[in-house]
Structure 1
Amino acid sequence: MKTLISWMAKMHDFTKNMPIEVDEEGPTCTFHKEFYQHDRHLILYSNNDNDADIRIGKLLTVLKQKYPKRNFESHPLNIPDVINIPKIKSKVETLIMKECKDDEITIFFSPGTSAMQISWYLINEAGMFNTELLQVRPKQHSNSRKPELLKIEVEKSTIPGSSIIKEESVAHHKENYLITDSLKPIYSRASMIAQADQVTTLIFGESGSGKEHLANYIHKESARSSNPFIAVNCSAFTDELLESRLFGHIKGSFTGASSDHKGLMEEANGGTIFLDEIGDISPYMQQVLLRVIQEKKVLRIGDSLEKKIDVRIITATNKNLPLKCMEGSFRWDLFYRLAVTELTLPPLRERGVKEVEELLNFFITSKQKIFKRPKKLKLDKKSRNYILNYSFPGNVREIENLVENLYVFNTESVSMETLPERLINTTDESKLDLKTVEKLHIKKVLKMAKSKQHAAELLGCVINTLNKKIKEYDIKTENTF
């Protein structure tokens, strides 16, 4: 099918006089009079203007009267900011995916704001759809004194969807969270994902590493930012409760269902739902969720009528999902549906002492306001060194909680006496010195190996060296072999 798609030109498709009347010399009417050779015309307009519905109604009336055999469709788009290029582009790409992704698409470039026109350019350049860009030179600017049809030639990108314009820097989202140097490439990729509205995202990372913040960042950077962002911890519910929370139920569908209840998928309609700890859901819930993703419909418990939803799904896990798939405890087909795009957050212990110190200072500054202290806490040298040499298995969340703890028990300065016990008497797993790391690695290999000789081979040493290390580190091997 050949589809023409364009914006309604609020100014140029209508006369300047009141009441509102269609200008038959305007760009849309001119295109239909001189150049239309398509199966249908999708006319987009922003429904945030007070008179937008009146204007599109009048324009369609005139076009249908003049060309009764042509197929016209109007599509309102919620665009509160008509100069926000990323959001306009994302909205239009979503519409194209739904309405005409397999068509031969002619984009009538002329109508619309400059941001709308740049969005057309980026969509065409990305090469995701079969598009061409056409514009019309008005007759008053043409040597022939007739309207001229011009094709805008663009060399398309070899990487689909690669053209992204960022109007906000990462710093815009730093109010309650510090995006350190190691995270900036990840957040840059998240910005690209935010513009691709049709894809799911799976975030890998240990507990407390900032998965929910990253998901929220994608939401805020996307065209859905004015709609709900809802986060759900999947591991906190039984199957029945999780199904009810996500999809809703009707009155009487189970004991305690005293009224109809809308699920969180419906509550998030138009926005984003973040499913944390997705690796913990049961095989039954995996099957249900897979169907929701495929059909874009939800069925409330006890109901027989499905409801359509328009929700972006972002999931996260601290589990090795590919391994769970190989073990048979997680569905490969669901994994592939969830992991169209992937992001991985590194644990804090891999991000270096410099970043730990940056986060420590950041939270000391930000928590001062929350705890209403006249001065920021000061750490003496010894306590600061203990904190910086701690591995923080709870990641960013643990360092934030630590600073809150310090504000509770200290007024102006922090010494060793007021540090939490776990920082002073650390377990081996929390230490970063070379000897402890070596000891833990040897213990890990001994558990994996079939014998001491096999362990020595895996470690790349002779058996005598391994025995010496076992004795030095007092490693118990009685139950290992």
Structure 2
Amino acid sequence: MSAGGPVLVSWVAQKNDPYERKDRSDEYLREPDGQPILGPTLALFCDDDSPFKGKIHEVVLLHREGSDEKIALERRALDETRQALLERRPGLRISLEPWRAEDPTDHKAIFEFLRGKVPELRQRFRDRELVIHATPGTPSMQTIWVLMAETGFIDQPFQLVKSYRKHERNGQPTVVPLQVGIESFYKVYMTSRPAEVTSDEGSIPWDLKQFRSEQFRKLFTEARRFAQLKVPVLILGERGTGKTKLASWIRLHSPYRSLEHDTRWPSVACGQYSPETMRAELFGYRKGAFTDAREDRDGLLAEADKDTLFLDEIGDISKDLQRLLIRALEEKQYLRLGDTRPKKSDFRLLTATNLPPTALRERLDADFLDRIGLLRLRLPPLREVPEELLWLWDATYQVATRRSGATPSQARLGASHHDQIIKTLRRHPLPGNLRDLFSVAYRLIAARCDAYEPLSPGDAMEYALEEFEAGSSPTEEAALLRDVAQAFALSQPLDPLLRPGTRLPTRKLNKELMAFVARELRRLSSVRGVPIGELCDVTDRTLRERKDPAGRKKSSDGAEG
């Protein structure tokens, strides 16, 4: 693959490539100096007025394949165009992509072909700009290009352009961007975000057409069904799995959505506030309700009327607020702070947490949890859906490049390096999920963009994965043991803790745990003045033997040495 630069993707104009032809004739139209007039593909490629002159290093030509007479004419135009391109730039890489089809005006057949072909090209030219030339081909082909570009079937970076024939320009440039401005769901989805819940991973759209795993397909089938109901949905998932983005997806697929809130819809991260400020944020307040209440203010419940309210980190909400929210959910009424008359809000509630069910039941009242968890969706961690890592890594790297301020040329990697990174990601438990992908991406881009000692793509990849793959050092051992004990208490899996290369000292863990229990039981026995037998099912002698994890020997007179 060429090192860089935009890639031209185009059908071939049967009648006008590589040069303009006279009507119903094989004879070329010519300039006053006798040179043939460039057809649309050559005009984009090398016309003096084209912004792409000298910048295209690779070309993908789409063409029909078959045996009828019209296809034979297309094949002639294809061969002549390929030859003309190579004459202007020897060594130019040209890929021919055949489509077996009878009818070049069949919109559905064209779409089915391009829907499969475009993702192939996007993978082949990962971070390079695709210049989609919509002019050559039938009107049906042009229409499908426009619809695919406008509705999100072509992943960035790309440009959709059209070229003008020489006699049609009337002072216009040879090549211009082609934009219709369709307000598609995809565009709204990409700009929609909760008001106060933002993150790198939130910028990765859940691309349904890319899904490979049964888990993801099933999840979004359920999400689509749940979206239609004005019933609370609880989204469960580890940190970094994309719970916020799933909440946006549900809202945009539901009837509980106000268009004016699309770019900033009502939400709050419960862990950011004290119970008092959280109540003011949700319910609003009257002027004078508390010291700093200098004016009336409507809260998020008012904003969420006829829309959706998203409460992230729901496990951090106070008991008092849980009770108030139950009333708001059931009666669609609430009181602002300082008010005596209730206000109404017909809202739909989405909540999310990274707590496991056991811990969530300890944090929330059973009545509240029952109401917010009538419908539940669980986002699987990435280690359970390694099939999704190919497109997720590509999307992550593009977002990281854009957010870091690096240029595409600085961040560019070869396909083999991306493949190696994906292989490593698939072997890793990814405790931070999408956040781990961003961590690798940012380290890699930093190494490539170092102003003093930029690393080669291969060395940058090794640098990015170096810390990621490292196991626990001796200084981390105590923290690891504590984390394992906590995982046991919360019934959580050990995958996030035991990275490749990490070795769990199980004997030491067992001794440390038993020593802790022994010390605490003997302390409680002394404090409460009760015998050990009332607190546990082992003897005091056994506890004395277990309370020292170092296993210190007793001296001959029975004293500990």
Normalising by structure 1, we get a TM-score of: 0.51
Deviations 1:73-128 (A, max 9, x none): xxxxxxxxxxxxxxxxxxxxxxxxxxxxxxxxxxxxxxxxxxxxxxxxxxxxxxxx
Match of 2:468 among 403, 406, 423: 423
How much has 1:348 moved relative to structure 2?
1.7
How much has 1:209 moved relative to structure 2?
0.8
Measured at CA, do residues 258 and 391 of structure 1 come closer, stay the same or move farther in structure 2, by a change above 3 Å?
same
Determine the C-alpha separation between the residues in 2 that align with 1:208 and 1:394.
6
Match of 2:320 among 268, 275, 284: 284
How much has 1:358 moved relative to structure 2?
3.3
Determine the C-alpha separation between the residues in 1 that align with 2:514 and 2:382.
26
Q: Which runs of 5+ in 1 are unaligned?
A: 1-167, 453-475
Partner of 2:354: 318
Measured at CA, do residues 292 and 304 of structure 1 come closer, stay the same or move farther in structure 2, by a change above 3 Å?
same
Q: Which runs of 5+ in 2 are unaligned?
A: 1-183, 191-203, 450-455, 473-479, 481-495, 519-546, 552-561
* C-alpha contact (below 8 Å) 1:249/1:263 kept by paired residues: yes
Match of 1:224 among 256, 260, 279: 256
Determine the C-alpha separation between the residues in 2 that align with 1:398 and 1:293.
36
Partner of 2:105: none
* C-alpha contact (below 8 Å) 1:178/1:362 kept by paired residues: no
2:233 pairs with 1:176 = no
2:394 pairs with 1:361 = yes
Deviations 1:411-454 (A, max 9, x none): 47252553276314233755455x858767995899599999xx
Match of 2:374 among 336, 340, 352: 340
- Residues 327-406 of structure 1: pairs in structure 2 closer than 5 A: 327=362, 329-352=363-386, 354-369=387-402, 371-374=406-409, 376-378=412-414, 379=417, 385-406=423-444
* C-alpha contact (below 8 Å) 1:387/1:423 kept by paired residues: no
* C-alpha contact (below 8 Å) 1:269/1:310 kept by paired residues: yes
* C-alpha contact (below 8 Å) 1:383/1:414 kept by paired residues: no
Determine the C-alpha separation between the residues in 2 that align with 1:446 and 1:324.
28
How much has 1:364 moved relative to structure 2?
2.2
Determine the C-alpha separation between the residues in 2 that align with 1:402 and 1:239.
37
2:223 pairs with 1:190 = yes
Aligned-residue sequence identity (percent) comes to 29
Determine the C-alpha separation between the residues in 2 that align with 1:269 and 1:444.
54
Partner of 1:208: 240
Partner of 1:238: 274
2:297 pairs with 1:261 = yes
Determine the C-alpha separation between the residues in 2 that align with 1:200 and 1:221.
15
Measured at CA, do residues 404 and 231 of structure 1 come closer, stay the same or move farther in structure 2, by a change above 3 Å?
farther
Q: What one-letter code is carried by the residue in structure 2 that aligns with 1:332?
A: A
Determine the C-alpha separation between the residues in 2 that align with 1:236 and 1:424.
32
- Residues 29-178 of structure 1: pairs in structure 2 closer than 5 A: 176-178=205-207
Q: How many residues align?
A: 285
Partner of 1:478: 549
How much has 1:478 moved relative to structure 2?
1.6
Measured at CA, do residues 258 and 450 of structure 1 come closer, stay the same or move farther in structure 2, by a change above 3 Å?
closer
Q: Secondary structure at the match of 2:301?
A: helix
Q: Secondary structure at the match of 2:408?
A: coil
Deviations 1:157-214 (A, max 9, x none): xxxxxxxxxxx99999687344532312101100001112x21101111111111111
RMSD over aligned CA atoms reads 3.8
Match of 1:250 among 286, 301, 307: 286
Match of 2:457 among 413, 421, 436: 413
* C-alpha contact (below 8 Å) 2:256/2:307 kept by paired residues: yes
Determine the C-alpha separation between the residues in 2 that align with 1:298 and 1:441.
55
Q: What one-letter code is carried by the residue in structure 2 that aligns with 1:350?
A: E
How much has 1:390 moved relative to structure 2?
3.1
Q: Secondary structure at the match of 1:410?
A: helix
* C-alpha contact (below 8 Å) 2:280/2:337 kept by paired residues: yes
Determine the C-alpha separation between the residues in 1 that align with 2:548 and 2:425.
33
Deviations 1:293-340 (A, max 9, x none): 121112111111111001110011112345543x4x421111111011
* C-alpha contact (below 8 Å) 2:271/2:313 kept by paired residues: yes
* C-alpha contact (below 8 Å) 2:498/2:504 kept by paired residues: no
* C-alpha contact (below 8 Å) 1:201/1:339 kept by paired residues: yes
Determine the C-alpha separation between the residues in 2 that align with 1:330 and 1:304.
28
Determine the C-alpha separation between the residues in 2 that align with 1:337 and 1:248.
23
* C-alpha contact (below 8 Å) 2:266/2:308 kept by paired residues: yes
Determine the C-alpha separation between the residues in 2 that align with 1:255 and 1:314.
32
How much has 1:357 moved relative to structure 2?
3.7
Determine the C-alpha separation between the residues in 1 that align with 2:402 and 2:297.
39
Measured at CA, do residues 430 and 267 of structure 1 come closer, stay the same or move farther in structure 2, by a change above 3 Å?
same
Larger Rg: 2
Determine the C-alpha separation between the residues in 2 that align with 1:396 and 1:289.
31
Partner of 2:308: 272
Normalising by structure 2, we get a TM-score of: 0.45
* C-alpha contact (below 8 Å) 2:284/2:336 kept by paired residues: yes
Match of 2:331 among 295, 310, 327: 295
How much has 1:365 moved relative to structure 2?
3.7
Measured at CA, do residues 409 and 305 of structure 1 come closer, stay the same or move farther in structure 2, by a change above 3 Å?
farther
How much has 1:267 moved relative to structure 2?
1.3
* C-alpha contact (below 8 Å) 2:286/2:293 kept by paired residues: yes
* C-alpha contact (below 8 Å) 1:383/1:419 kept by paired residues: no
* C-alpha contact (below 8 Å) 1:202/1:316 kept by paired residues: yes
Measured at CA, do residues 286 and 437 of structure 1 come closer, stay the same or move farther in structure 2, by a change above 3 Å?
farther
Q: What one-letter code is carried by the residue in structure 1 that aligns with 2:408?
A: R
Measured at CA, do residues 421 and 199 of structure 1 come closer, stay the same or move farther in structure 2, by a change above 3 Å?
same
Measured at CA, do residues 348 and 250 of structure 1 come closer, stay the same or move farther in structure 2, by a change above 3 Å?
same
Determine the C-alpha separation between the residues in 2 that align with 1:445 and 1:330.
34
Q: Secondary structure at the match of 2:256?
A: coil
